[in-house]
Amino acid sequence: MPTQRTQYGGAVATKPMATYTIIALNILAYLAQWALRGTTQAMMLVPGIAIYEPWRLFTNAFAHSTGSIFHILMNMYGIYIFGTLLEPRMGRLRFIWLYMLSLFGGTAGIMLLSPPLSGTLGASGALAGLFIATLVALRGNRGVLSQLGIVLVLNIVLSFTVPNISWQGHLGGAIVGGLAALCITLVPRGPKRNITQLGLLGALSAVLAIVLFVSTTSAALPLV
């Protein structure tokens, strides 16, 4: 029997488990921030010291402001909406790859455009990537515009009201998320669709890795 495929070529899954897992990891990280002193500071992205503590390039996207629970609530609400829209259409592998590219795209935006000693945290960069990816994947479908509008407005408000959220991360995540979505959605059906999609995503990942390496090196502050 032929394998069932999603709209964009991924394997069909009955539930968006990748989306649920991402949300669960964010919640666990938030609980750790409350339970373990120093966790927030250790996970936060500070461009000037990222070269010495590279885990911050990743962990910053799972930490949220402990000063406002709405920060994590709104981000998880957005990930749930966009994840349940995108994952069934793309398949689990493509969706996870898209999310990770958006996450590191947000990190790259911070590394390139934020001051070396600024501190940034939150899943907003990855969420911005999912937002643009949804516009790309569901272009022409007006039924989702109201949901997209709600999340967009909420995140704009949060950008100006919650500390340590940066437009730089939003911009980087949106750009890379949009490019990743184009790599997936613009490849026509055919026997080489899968390998073409994965090849394009791999090339985008390589370029992003180079950008992160260069920006991390350039932003590094000298050790005293």
User: Among the listed ranges 39-43, 74-78, 144-148, 216-220, which one has the minimum average pLDDT value?
Assistant: 144-148
Residue 145 lies in a domain: yes
* Residue range of the domain that includes 37: 17-216
Residue 159 has pLDDT above 70, yes or no: no
Residue 74 lies in a domain: yes
Q: How confident is the model at residue 2 (pLDDT cuts 50, 70, 90)?
A: low
pLDDT digits (tens, 9 = 90+) for 98-133: 999 999 999 999 999 999 999 999 999 999 999 999
3-class state of residue 45 by DSSP: strand
Residue 175 lies in a domain: yes
Percent above pLDDT 90 for the chain? 71
Distance CA 105, CA 177 (A): 7
pLDDT of 162 reads 59
pLDDT of 96 reads 97
pLDDT of 195 reads 95
What is the overall mean pLDDT for the chain? 90
pLDDT of 180 reads 98
Residue 153 has pLDDT above 90, yes or no: no
pLDDT of 52 reads 96
User: Which pTM value belongs to this model?
Assistant: 0.91
pLDDT of 165 reads 60
What H or E segment, with its residue span, contains residue 89? helix 69-90
Residue 30 lies in a domain: yes
Better-scored residue on pLDDT, 157 or 40: 40
Residue 114 lies in a domain: yes
Residue 10 lies in a domain: no
Q: How confident is the model at residue 164 (pLDDT cuts 50, 70, 90)?
A: low
Is the sign of the CA dihedral 27, 161, 129, 70 positive or negative?
Answer: positive
Q: How many domains does the chain have?
A: 1
User: Contact at 8 Å (CB) between 166 and 118?
Assistant: yes
Better-scored residue on pLDDT, 19 or 10: 19
Residue 159 lies in a domain: yes
pLDDT of 143 reads 67
Residue 1 has pLDDT above 80, yes or no: no
How many Cα neighbours within 13 Å face the side chain of 8?
A: 28
What H or E segment, with its residue span, contains residue 185? helix 167-185
pLDDT of 5 reads 81
How many Cα neighbours within 13 Å face the side chain of 87?
A: 20
**Residue 101 belongs to domain with CATH number:** 1.20.1540.10
Residue 12 lies in a domain: no
